[in-house]
Amino acid sequence: MSAAAPAAKPTSAAKSDAAAAFARGLEGVIGGQTSVCSIEQDKLIYRGYEIHDLAAHATFEQVAFLLLEGHKPSADELARFKKEIVAERAIPASVAKFLTDAAPQLKAGTAVPMDVLRTAVGLLGHQDPDCQDNSAAANLRKSKRLLARIPTIIGHMQNAIDGRAFVQPDAALDHAANLLYMMTGRRPTTEEARVIDVSLILYAEHEFNASTFTCRVIAGTLSDLHGAVCGGIAALKGPLHGGANEMAMEMLKEIFASVGEAGIGTPKVDAWMEQAFASKRKLMGFGHRVYKNGDHRAGILHTLGRNLASRLGGTPGGLAATRWFDLGEQVQKIMLTKKNIHPNVDFPCGMTYFVMGIPVPQYTPIFVAARITGWCAHIMEQHADNRLIRPLSIYTGPAERRWNG
């Protein structure tokens, strides 16, 4: 049987057509099909379920099952899924040792938690018996292991930074509560656990965002799931993507340092913002490539965070929890009034995690603990119906010329 003929190279006409459709940053370009998630101007939908519905009535474990296994779980299916995840929470001794060894670099700032998490996931791949198997069944098993173990990596990493013994997973705690417990050694209240649980639901999936698209590009080469997830982590690290929640909180801390508590609610904050506008500073936690009239998720998390803050006391920033929300709301109002730009989910996330005492450098790793479900769902979808993702480009270099002459 003769070999298939190679695909024809794009003609000049095809290139010309592609150039006519060019959009910088692929804005507005449809990059593929998916049954995992739909983003619309007034809705965010995970496999047919709208995000407000999920945030109000589902748990993160239920949403994780929905994304990974493709349908709403029955009570028996959920019990089986939770049992599987709890059983996989422990990490290999070699990965735990790596986290301990990385602590000095984390403290010195030569390493950051997202880089350490990326390497730890790569190490997990080396020891996963299914690592090189891209079958649907193997990918699902790997997805569940990563879902279970990423919170343990985050918890152990923070314990190593703080110089504490590792807090081991607690099988009696649900996914979100266990994540907080391993980071702090303190069992969260019911309200704290629910707030972090909802935040994980909100961050779990978001269609063809930069990190998910990265995962799909890697998976499209028929590379393995762990490798694709490592690429997703690297993409999510950037301040224009997942790192925005960290940068949003750092901005609020900077404003507070400048104006003081007495300046909250006064024109001093307006003056700080005007200076930021004048210097064309990018203010993180605002705006979105897809949502032009506001991020559906932001209001959900802001309300939960504000309600929790009203029951908390002081924070690591030396300010009452509610005052951080007072400041944040003033900044939001200025951005909306002066620039007509709405906050995205990263802005309330920064404040909410901060008043809960979560170290700012761990915000984006916690994002990974949620988005791992969406990433793996997309990787499995890509492997199941694959075509190599290979776009064209518009050449802007010099015209053809001779090397000798």
- What lies within 8 Å, CB to CB, of 10 at 6+ separation is 18, 392
> What count of other Cβ atoms lies within 10 Å of the Cβ of residue 359?
17
Kindly write down the DSSP assignment for every residue of 275-288, as one continuous string. Answer: HHHHTT---TTB--
Cβ atoms 226, 121 nearer than 8 A: yes
Buried b (16+ CB within 10 A) or exposed e, 310-336: eebeebebebbbbbbbbbbbbbbebbe
**CA nearest 207: which of 71, 329, 25, 44?**
44
Alpha-carbon Rg for the chain, nearest whole angstrom, is 23
Distance CA 397, CA 405 (A): 19
Distance CA 34, CA 26 (A): 17
The yes-or-no answer on residue 241 being catalytic is yes
Name 343's bridge partners. Answer: 286
The yes-or-no answer on residue 346 being catalytic is yes
Percentages (nearest 5) of helix, strand, coil residues in the chain: 60, 5, 35
What one-character DSSP code corresponds to residue 264?
Answer: T
- What lies within 8 Å, CB to CB, of 395 at 6+ separation is none
Torsion on CA atoms 291, 332, 346, 185, rounded to nearest 10: -150
Instruction: Check 175, 288, 296, 378 and give the catalytic one.
Output: 288
> What count of other Cβ atoms lies within 10 Å of the Cβ of residue 213?
19
Instruction: Check 52, 115, 170, 241 and give the catalytic one.
Output: 241
Instruction: Check 156, 346, 378, 383 and give the catalytic one.
Output: 346
**CA nearest 107: which of 367, 359, 368, 364?**
359
Name 286's bridge partners. Answer: 343
Cβ atoms 364, 242 nearer than 8 A: yes
Cβ atoms 361, 246 nearer than 8 A: yes
Point out the residues that are catalytic: 241, 288, 346
